Amino acid sequence: MKRNLFRIFVAFAAFFFAAQPADAQFGNILKKVTKTLDTVSKKDAKIKRTDPAASKDMPPQFIGTTTTSESGATVINPFAKDVDIQLVGAYGKSTSENYGTVTLVLKVKMIADKSRIGLGGVGDFPNSDLRSVTMFVDQDGESYTPDGGTTSDSFDVSEGVYVKLKLDGTYTRFENVKKTAKVMQVLKLGLYVDAAIRGYITMKNVPIQWDVEP
């Protein structure tokens, strides 16, 4: 790169010295050299910022397995080897003319030998800075979180058997949701099984069924 630039500078010098007075020649060459170096510097800076070696690859265990429900919603589960999670639906119950409460219904089957699972609150992955509070964003960009804070609700589950769970606890229930919310564009649900199996489940394009019983 530097050798090519030097040749370009020499060519510029030969041309301008032949066509212009000495002072003008030097000034013009200096301007062009400065501009060229600035361009090279910007390109080098861009290369450094986008160098793949400078970024960390996503740990394979956090990439997740994606499944699609009958409604067309997708569930991204980074813990599929430990727990099978299927979406039954998202259900809204009116509390006023314009607002209501939204709850999720899931089917959960443990693959790991565990009998309790925590859902809701904050999901943070072990040995990683990946974390998210339980929340969803509707089709209009409105975001909602449970009022319970960072703790999760605990549920009884069983190894090898699907258990239907209604997430209607303090840390999983979404309150004061506008009834204009028809679809959860994205939902992040905290999950805790043990110190090694923890983080969050992601769901996308989940329809909200208002005033319908699960």
Q: Tell me whether residue 53 is exposed, middle or buried, using C-beta atoms within 10 angstroms of its C-beta: 0 to 12, 13 to 18, 19 or more.
A: exposed
Contact (Cβ atoms closer than 8 angstroms) between residue 82 and residue 74: no
Q: Three-state DSSP class for 124? A: strand
Q: Which two tokens stand for residue 175?
A: 């309150």
Q: Tell me: the pLDDT tens digits for 126-155?
A: 888 888 999 999 999 999 999 876 789 999
**Amino acid type, 2:** K
pLDDT level of residue 21 (50, 70, 90 thresholds): low
What residues does 199 pair with on adjacent strands? 191
Query: Is residue 52 over pLDDT 90?
Result: no
Q: Distance between CA atoms of 138 and 150, rounded to whole angstroms?
A: 21
Q: Could you tell me the pLDDT band of residue 158, with boundaries at 50, 70 and 90? A: very high
